[in-house]
Amino acid sequence: MQNFSKILDKAIEEIAKLPGIGRRTALRLALHLHQLENIEVEQLLSAISRLKSELHTCQECHNLSDTPVCTICTNPKRNHQLICVVQDIRDVIAIEATHQFNGVYHVLGGIISPINGIGPEQLTLEHLFEKINNNPVEEVILALPTTVEGDTTNFFIYQNISDKVKVVSTIARGIGVGEELEFTDEVTLGRSLIGRTNFETAYSKNN
């Protein structure tokens, strides 16, 4: 799709690189941006710039944060002996929206997937195991996708921590097989957290 303006074409090309954005949507967005007031464009550019330059990865849980350690990890009202292990930051946002979890998180940054060349060493698993070894932890909740890769990662974690924590649990299977947490409605996700089951029991039933 060639337009009469190289500047517009370049804007469309860059916007279309964003996930889920096709060229037609990119065109609409580019035209909308062109119609904005200068101050609105400056505010948008500033927000994007700060997103890259000032947004940190939390040193404790690997969540995103404005500071070196996120507000969840520094909150004394959170139960720091309850850790919820998730695939990525979008899952933290989804679980927080349920208001059913008062522990802390550990973001893996992915799941084990040999076919995609992702092994344990590519994830933040060593940091998770280090935290569990060095701090009192009552329960670890495995809240990973209900996929083969998610189950593989769950089992790998369980093998490494089962003798170090009192309870290893997994969210209830109210979430459909293959479904990502971020696309699960808040009520279903909240119930899955509340109704979580012992991992060993759940694993035995499914094998």
Question: Residue 205: pLDDT above 60?
Answer: no
Other beta carbons within 10 angstroms of residue 171's beta carbon come to 24
> Fold for domain 6-54?
Helicase, Ruva Protein; domain 3 (1.10.8)
Global pTM reads 0.84
Give which of 102, 95, 87 is closest to 185, Cα–Cα: 95
CATH number of this structure's domain 57-205:
3.40.1360.10
Q: Quick one: pLDDT at residue 181?
A: 62
Residue 177 has pLDDT above 50, yes or no: no
Rounded Cα gap, residues 101 and 86, in angstroms: 13
pLDDT (0 to 100) of residue 45: 95
For the chain, what percent of residues have pLDDT higher than 90?
Answer: 74
Q: What is the pLDDT of residues 155-176, one digit of tens each?
A: 999 999 999 999 999 987 655 5
Ordered by start, the domain boundaries in the chain are 6-54, 57-205
